[in-house]
Amino acid sequence: MFIFIGIAAVKQPVNDKFKNLQVLPKNISEDSLDKIMDGFNAMLSVDCQFCHVRDKKADTLMFDKDDKSEKEITRNMMRMTMDINKKYFQFNETVTAEQVQAVTCYTCHKGNPMPEKEKKKVAKDPFNFKSN
């Protein structure tokens, strides 16, 4: 599932409703923001409380607070994937990295909150150098 598509590609009306947006456009529509957050939920198998703090008294999430480290980690991951896509998948002027989104959360996370570490493959020594 590649929901991250088009974060910056679509111009949206100005929206002052959302506070503390540091990576996503300040003028993002509610629908676009919901789709991106739903994408995180699906690609990482998490719910909103993974990054957002719950106000226990009001029984609601405080989306503008930065109390959880996962939120800043997510911002950094977003910057990283956007940079990778722009650097390596900006094919030409008509096909932009925002449209392609070759690298997403799912590329490494594969539906898990934390990406699994790859086991190093031991290369066989075809010339048998180690035994000499």
The answer to whether residues 74 and 39 touch, using CB atoms and an 8 Å cutoff, is no
Domain 1-117 falls in which CATH fold? Photosynthetic Reaction Center, subunit C; domain 2 (1.10.468)
pLDDT, position 90:
76
pLDDT per residue as tens digits for the range 37-68: 999 999 999 999 999 999 999 999 999 999 99
> Span 15-41, mean pLDDT?
90
User: What residues does each domain of the chain span?
Assistant: 1-117
Q: Residue 61 in 3-state DSSP?
A: strand
| pLDDT at residue 123 in the model | 66
Nearest to 95 by CA among 3, 2, 6: 6
What pLDDT digit, counting tens, does each position of 90-130 carry?
777 777 767 778 899 999 999 999 998 876 666 676 676 66
